[in-house]
Each structure stands twice: as C-alpha cells, then as structure tokens.
Amino acid sequence: MKGIFYIFIKLIFFMNFILFDGPYRNALLPFTYTRPVADIRVGILTIREKWENYLGFTTTTVTEQYLSDRFPMLKSSENVMINGAYLPNHDLVNMVLELDENEAIFQDQVAVAYKSSKDQKSINFKDFKIKICPKSVMSIKNTWDIFRLNSKAIKLDFSLITKDRKSQAVPPGVKLINESLVFIEEGAEVSFSSLNASDGPIYIGKNSNVMEGCMIRGPFALCENSVLKMGSKIYGSTTIGPSCKVGGEINNSVFLGYSNKAHDGFLGNSVIGEWCNLGANTNNSNLKNNYAEVRIWNYEHEKFKNTGLKFCGLFMGDHSKCGINTMFNTGTTVGISCNIFGSGFPRNFVPSFSWGGRNGFSSFKLEKALEVAEMVMDRRGVVLTETDADILKHVFKNTENLRSF
C-alpha cells in the first residue's frame, strides 16, 4: 500500500479527473439525452458531486459531442479517467488516487478508472496493468438502478456530507424517531411533522421547507430549496432533488431536480427528470396485477426489456408534463419534452416531443416546446440558454424515428 504522503505529492502535481459516460449511457436514456451519466442524482448527491466530495477537486467530462458545450472536458499532461456510472466509496477512491500511468481498474469487462497521458491518442488496455474494482462499489447500469440503489446511496451520502457537522435544532412540535440520523441544514424549515429515521437517515437540505403534517420515513433526502407540501406521505428510499415542490404519496422514487408533483396522487419506484410537472392526482402503477416482472422500453435495442423487478414505475425525461388525473401503467417510459393529458392509460413508451394521451399522439412542435421550457425555467429564475436550446433541438431531430404516429 502506497503511503498518504505519496498520494499527496501526486495530487499536487496532477489533479485532473475526467468523468466519462462509458458503455451504460444508452441504457440510461432518456435521462442521458440531456446530461452526462455522472450528472444523474442517486442518493443525496449526483455522481459527479460524490466524486468531487471524495477527491476534493472539480471534475470535467467526456460525453456526447452535442452535450460538450454544456459539459466541457479539460485535459492536462496526466489524466485520471473515471467511469461516471460508478458510485465512489473510500475503497475505490483510494485505488483511483494510487493509479500510475497505464494502470486501470476494471469490474468484470468494464473499465471503472484508468490513468493516461495527454499524448495518448488511443487506449489499448492490453498495455495496462489491471486492478480489480472492490465488490462493494455500486454502479447504475439501467434506469431502474437509480431508484433501486437509492437507499444505500442516501446512507453513504449522509455519512459523507454530515461527518463532523452539527444539525440545526429541531423545531418544537416536530416528532422525531432516531434523532441521531436526522440532519437539518441551515435555513431549512420543518413544521409539525413526523420524521422517522428508524430504517435510515433523513436529510433536510439548505433552505428547504417541510410543511405541516408531513409523515416521513427514512432513508430520505429533501435537497436544497425544495418544498414538501402539507400532509405529504413519504416512504423510504426517496430523494427530492433541488428546487422541487412535491406532495401526496411517494415511495422509493428519485426527483433529479427542478420538478413538481405538488398535489395528491401516488408515485412509486420511479425516476423523474428535471423541469417536469405532474398534474394534480397523477398516479402511477408500480406493480402488475399478475405480479409478473416488469418490462420497460430499451432505447438501445428499440424494444421492451425485462427488468427482473416486480416493482417498477415511471421514468420521465426532462421537460415533460402530464395533466390532472393522468394514470401511468407499470413500467412506463416518457421521453424529453412530452405533454401528456386526457383520461385512461397512455402507452408504456412515449417518445420524446410527443403531444397527446391514450387516444393518440402527435409531435410536439419544437418551437412550442422551447417556448414552454423557457417559461418554466424562468419561473425558477433560470435562463434557457442557447446551449440548452441546442441540446433540445438535437434530441428532437435524433428521436424523429421514434415518433411514428
């Protein structure tokens, strides 16, 4: 084992860590249409934020060309490349920090991390010394891994970001169970609610708001500037990303950020992208009536794939919306910038830029979709940049073949 001093000296002379998408990028669509793999949120933090917390350095990205203006890459004389699908822990981080040039870490047949020089134009791992990734390391290889691994990820993130820190005081009238696993950040408000951390930690982020009458079971994360509406029922293994407003009943689901489910209705075993809105009394099924394993749409092979799971709900890409009383069947995938409305169950796969519902779909006009995106983002004080618009235009063009209405 190389010493801490040796690692410290290496970090002084090179500190360039690059997160790359790896082979699972297409299996993580529709979420990776608009972000690199490393910018998916699992637990409290995105995978990028986890790596940067452990490493103490910022990272850059190797991703699809059309995303590179938004998520650029910076190379130096020596670079440590890290697969963005792998969630760091202390064992893996130590291995990464100890990598020498032409050394790589593999899990099965997949590169987890390797160190290369700027002059290397191509990588041939036959020339590398291969190390084996610790079995304790988690990775997201499919969309359902985001909610499936969320409980463990919340627990790891909670330990990482609350270590040696003190929670804000719990307000009067709040019922706590297992208070040592409840952490409330500065500026957060919690009013007359129940927080049960018996099964895992509860994290209440900076300037967030838990309104009156909420019942929360851990593991749970409410990220910065988010709101939990009155009377919400939150079961464990759930993450509400930053700047969200949610309510109703939620179980084992992940909101990546900037999305709303502000009213009653059930959401379970689901992943919701950014800038989404679920209308009042939207419900999803997360279990088939015959208890069969759930199949969901696979973008890579353009057909449905068995998840091996009995509980599997809704996967909704960025900028998609659904109207009041919308019902989603078990294992439904909704792409980017969809607008869904009307009674009954829409199809189990809704391609990006679709407009309609059970009675049929048409293409959502690009200029209208961009107009809606701009208005929605402006309500949160965020500007739809030309780069953001170009990404949506690229997705629109490259998903036309799926909109065969």
| Joined tokens for residue 208 | 């967030």
Same domain assignment for residues 325 and 381: yes
- In tens, the pLDDT along 301-332 reads 999 999 999 999 999 999 999 999 999 999 99
Angle subtended at Cα 164 by Cα 162 and Cα 167, rounded to the nearest 5 degrees: 55
pLDDT for position 120: 64
What is the DSSP annotation of 324-376? TT-EE-TTEEE-SS-EE-SSSPPPSEE-TTEEEETTEEEEPPHHHHHHHHHHH
Same domain assignment for residues 102 and 177: no
Amino acid at 123: I
Same domain assignment for residues 190 and 80: no
Same domain assignment for residues 167 and 81: no
Q: What is the CATH number of the domain that holds 222?
A: 2.160.10.10
- In tens, the pLDDT along 193-229 reads 999 999 999 999 999 999 999 999 999 999 999 999 9
Q: Tell me, yes or no, whether 155 lies in a domain.
A: no
Instruction: Please state, in angstroms and as integers, the Cα–Cα distance from residue 218 to each residue in 66, 151, 211, 238, following that order.
Output: 38, 9, 17, 8
**Which of 141, 174, 191 lies at the terminal end of a domain, its last residue?**
141
Q: Tell me, yes or no, whether 152 lies in a domain.
A: no
- In tens, the pLDDT along 356-370 reads 999 999 999 999 999
| Joined tokens for residue 201 | 């930690």
**Which of 114, 141, 168 lies at the terminal end of a domain, its last residue?**
141
Domains in the chain, number:
2
Q: How far apart are the first and last CA of the chain?
A: 60
Residue 229 belongs to domain spanning: 160-402
Same domain assignment for residues 35 and 174: no
pLDDT for position 116: 84
Q: Tell me, yes or no, whether 57 lies in a domain.
A: yes
* The pLDDT of residue 151 is above 50: yes
Same domain assignment for residues 129 and 213: no
Same domain assignment for residues 168 and 313: yes
* The pLDDT of residue 6 is above 80: no
Q: Is the dihedral of CA 294, 322, 27, 139 positive or negative?
A: negative
Same domain assignment for residues 69 and 187: no
Q: Tell me, yes or no, whether 263 lies in a domain.
A: yes
Same domain assignment for residues 182 and 279: yes
Q: What is the CATH number of the domain that holds 88?
A: 3.90.550.10
Q: Tell me, yes or no, whether 300 lies in a domain.
A: yes
The structure's pTM equals 0.95
Tell me the average pLDDT of the chain: 94
Q: Tell me, yes or no, whether 146 lies in a domain.
A: no
Q: Tell me, yes or no, whether 147 lies in a domain.
A: no
Same domain assignment for residues 324 and 232: yes
Q: Is the dihedral of CA 51, 316, 214, 286 positive or negative?
A: negative
- The total of other beta-carbon atoms located within 10 Å of residue 44's CB is 28
* The pLDDT of residue 118 is above 90: no
b or e along 157-191 (b: 16 or more beta carbons within 10 Å of the residue's beta carbon)? Answer: bbebbbeeeebeeeeeebebeeeebbbbbeebebe
**Which of 108, 141, 174 lies at the terminal end of a domain, its last residue?**
141
- In tens, the pLDDT along 57-68 reads 999 999 999 999
